[in-house]
Amino acid sequence: MIQTPAPELDPTSDVAQLTARLIDIGSVSGNEKAVADAVEEALRGLDQLEVVRDGDCVLARTTLGRGERVILAGHLDTVPLPTTPGARGTVPSTWEGETLYGRGATDMKGGVAVQLALAATLTAPSRDITFIFYDHEEVEASLSGLGRVAASRPDWLAADFAVLLEPTDGTVEGGCNGTARFDVRVAGKASHSARAWMGVNAIHGAAEILGRLRDHEPATVHVDGLDYRESLNAVRITGGTAGNVIPDSTVIEVNYRFAPDKTPDDAEAYVRALLEGFDVERTDAAAGARPGLQHPAAAAFVAAVGADPKPKYGWTDVARFSALGIPAVNFGPGDALLAHTDDEHVHADAIRACLAALLTWLA
C-alpha cells in the first residue's frame, strides 16, 4: 500500500488557487479521506476554531458567544471522473486563462475553498460560525456524512441559519423542491405476437398513462415569497420481452419534483390522483425545504449579499437543515448546469465574489 501524503492546503492563499488545490486531491465519493485529512490539517492550525473529525467529515466552529450561530456547509466528494478522452472536468485541474477546469470545479470544490478561506480569515466574525465539510453527498442518501453527523452529533447542527455552498452562480437560491419517484406498472397477458388476440398488450395499456403525463400542466407554487416551479415526468419506461411476444408488463418510472409546501405524502397523493386506475408504487422520496427567508438571520444574509433570492428547483441538502428547523439557502460559486459534466469549470472571479459576499455578511 502506497501512502499518498496529503498535499498542504493554505487557506490564506487566493481562493481560486485554493480551489485548484482541492480539485487536485481527487475525492470521488467513498474516497474522501485524503481531502478530509488536508482540510482537517488546515483547520487545526487556526486558533479560533474547535475542530472535530467524524469519519470523513470535518467539523469546526467558533465559540465566541455571539447572539446568533450560522452553519456554512459543503460536501467534499465529487461524482466520478469523466471517461471521455480529453474531457477537462477531471483531475488534476487545468487553467484556461482565469477559468478553472476540473472535477468538482462547480460541484463543489469552489464552495469548499470559500469555506476554508472564511475559516482562516474570520478570526472574530459577527456571528458564531459552524463549518461542516462532509462526505458522501453524491451517492445514496443513506451514506450521507451530513445525515450521519446530524444523528450522532446534534449539537454541531444547532444553528439559526445555514448556508449550503452548492453552486448557484452567485445568486441566493432558497429552500428546494422535494423529489419523489414512483413505479407505475401495467400488467398484460403474454401471447405469440402472431395471435395477439390471445394476449393483452401491456405497452398499449401504457398509452393512457403517458397521455395523462403529457397533458399534465405542472404547477408553480408560491412559498414564503418564492415561486417553485414543479416538474412531473416519466423518466424511464421499459416493456416487452421479445420481438414475437405480446408484452405482459410495462413499467414507467415517474419523477415528481414538488414544491416545498407539500410533504412526500402529499406528493404521493397527487400522483395517485393523476394516475387513478393504475398501479402506482412510491419507490423513493425526499422532502423539499421551505426557503424560510422571513427568518431574521436569513433576511440579514440576503440583505448583506445583495442578490434577489430565487427558488431552488433541484433537491439539495438544505432539506436536511430544513427538517431540523434551520432555515437554509444555497449560495455558491459556479453554474449548477455544469455540475457532473465532462466540461465542468468555474471562473476564478465567481469564487472570489462568493467569498467577498460572505465576508461582507460575516466580518
CB of 266 to its own copies, least distance (A): 18
Length of the chain (residues)? 363
Q: Which of 170, 247, 292, 327 binds its own copies (CB under 8 A)?
A: 247
Asked if residue 237 binds its own copies (CB under 8 A), the reply is: yes
Q: Which of 5, 195, 273, 303 binds its own copies (CB under 8 A)?
A: 195
Asked if residue 142 binds its own copies (CB under 8 A), the reply is: no
Cβ-proximal residues to 106 (8 Å cutoff; 6+ apart), any chain: 167, 333, 334, 335, 336, 338, 339, 344, 345, 346
Asked if residue 214 binds its own copies (CB under 8 A), the reply is: yes
Alpha-carbon distance of 48 to 296, in angstroms, equals 26
Which CB sits closer to its own copies, 10 or 253?
253
Residues annotated as catalytic are: 77, 137
Which CB sits closer to its own copies, 55 or 80?
80
Which CB sits closer to its own copies, 28 or 200?
200
CB of 234 to its own copies, least distance (A): 4
Asked if residue 356 binds its own copies (CB under 8 A), the reply is: no
Alpha-carbon distance of 290 to 16, in angstroms, equals 32
Asked if residue 342 binds its own copies (CB under 8 A), the reply is: no
Asked if residue 240 binds its own copies (CB under 8 A), the reply is: yes
Asked if residue 241 binds its own copies (CB under 8 A), the reply is: yes
Count of alpha carbons within 13 Å of 98, Cβ hemisphere only? Answer: 8
Alpha-carbon distance of 47 to 235, in angstroms, equals 50
CB of 218 to its own copies, least distance (A): 7
Q: Which of 84, 231, 294, 360 binds its own copies (CB under 8 A)?
A: 231
Asked if residue 277 binds its own copies (CB under 8 A), the reply is: no
Record the cell numbers describing residue 271, joined without a space: 400522483
Asked if residue 243 binds its own copies (CB under 8 A), the reply is: yes
CB of 240 to its own copies, least distance (A): 3
Residue pair 333/167 in contact by the 8 Å Cβ criterion: yes
What amino acid occupies position 283? T
Helix axes 15-24, 348-362, angle to 10 degrees: 120
Alpha-carbon distance of 239 to 203, in angstroms, equals 6
Alpha-carbon distance of 168 to 149, in angstroms, equals 25
H/E stretch holding 214: helix 207-215
Asked if residue 187 binds its own copies (CB under 8 A), the reply is: no
Is the Cα dihedral 63, 64, 65, 68 positive or negative?
A: negative
Q: Which residues sit at the interface with its own copies, rule CB under 8 A? A: 177, 179, 181, 192-197, 201, 203-208, 210-211, 213-214, 218, 229, 231-247, 250, 252-253, 255, 257, 284, 313-315, 337
